[in-house]
Amino acid sequence: MKKVFLLATLMLATSVTYAGGYRVSLQGNKALAMGHTGVAVVNSSELVFFNPAGLVYLENKLNVSMGASAVFADVAYQNQATGQTALTDSGVGTPFYAYISYKATDWLALGLGVYTPFGSGVAYEDDWAGSHLVNNIDLSAIFIQPTVSIKLSKYFSIGGGPIFATGSVNFNRNLNRTLANNEGERSEVTVDASGVNSWGWTAGWMLNPTENLTIGMNYRSKIILEAEGGDADFENIPNSPLAPFADTTFDARLPLPAELTVGLSYTFGEKWLFAFDFNRAFWNEYQNLNIDFADENIPDSVNARDYENASTYRFGLQYEATKAFTLRAGYYFDESPVQDGRFAPETPRNDSNGYTAGLTMKLGSRFEIDAAFLYLHFKEIDASYDAYFENGQAVPFSGTYKSSVFVPSLGISYKL
């Protein structure tokens, strides 16, 4: 019953669409179109997420931004030695965001954000070669973030606020590589938990040393998701004292890592804006996946993850083509926190290159349509997961993985 829940719970979703290990980098279409840069870009209420300190610099009193993405992700697995293959059926994930900011005075702005930094699903065919590790995952998580932004001077501001996280997870895998009932149906377990809540916080600052240059920093704290009393449902269990699996409950915990982002933006030539963000995610918090079952006949599980801290380098460019159209493009390089021997099929991802583009179309003086597109390119990789054990013996699972991700996004902005 090993690597079941928490891997699911923050693993949150799926395979390859997410930055680092299981983060979703889709928190705003203006930012996404520019390589997901935004910590030093003042253009919309997307700043609620990227850097609350910048809200007080928005020109309009009221700013609203909302949107959603369609995530198309596929993973192909092959073991050339055995001839085994598998292809995920990931469906379509739909992460969303909604932000509102209100400029109460020249030095004070308030904001509220609701967004999905984790959520989607990945599904392999039942009883595939790695079914003892995962068959499917379906996770949703919603963050609610009130913020305040305070201008301390014409050139410097601070901002931040608490984060409330709530989510649910459903995860299924076979119990091991061979166990089946008398009808030959593979024994499996499904773990399910909802109402998994926790708190964190975010804080940042923004500096405008010159008219054209903006520098920003934002820190987001670690958030610990703890599932208590989740349901563990066992199916196709043979009638044998050697298979003491019965429906029970479980507890599990997993850290969402803290992350620090610093960056700058620079306007030039009147119509051009360049942005750069450096993000450091402190994945070293995630060393083990621990699952505690209420039924004492079912052994508890500690599974190595050994993630390491990872960085993301983001570049974005914006061009005001006309009064009605603003064009954007971007690129980012995202390091994987997954180390050699810990490449699990729940998050089969390695370093990735993200290519983005998009535009904003103004509809009058108040409404805007924001469109963006992301393509994530993952190099084909030969990798293994060496921390799965049966009968006290390590049973490595290895193969070649090919991954692809396409994400079209659409949103609207309103200013008053």
- Residue 14: pLDDT band with limits 50, 70, 90: very low
Do 254 and 270 touch, CB atoms closer than 8 A? no
Q: Does the domain formed by 5-415 have CATH 2.40.160.60? A: yes
- Residue 4: pLDDT band with limits 50, 70, 90: very low
The DSSP call for residue 209 is S
Q: Report the C-alpha gap between 330 and 359 in whole angstroms.
A: 12
CA angle 356–74–399, rounded 5-degree value: 120
- Each residue's pLDDT tens digit, 327-351: 999 999 999 888 888 887 776 567 8
Q: In this prediction, what percent of the chain has a pLDDT beyond 70?
A: 90
Instruction: For residue 285, give the 3-state DSSP assignment.
Output: helix
Domain map (residue ranges) of the chain: 5-415
Give pLDDT, residue 6.
31
Q: Report the C-alpha gap between 197 and 220 in whole angstroms.
A: 17
Q: What is the pTM of this model?
A: 0.87
Per-chain mean pLDDT for the chain: 86
Do 139 and 121 touch, CB atoms closer than 8 A? yes
Do 138 and 11 touch, CB atoms closer than 8 A? no
- Each residue's pLDDT tens digit, 96-123: 999 999 999 999 999 999 998 765 567 8
Q: Report the C-alpha gap between 348 and 333 in whole angstroms.
A: 17
Instruction: For residue 186, give the 3-state DSSP assignment.
Output: strand
In degrees rounded to 5, what are phi and psi of residue 304? -70, 135
Q: Report the C-alpha gap between 128 and 280 in whole angstroms.
A: 35
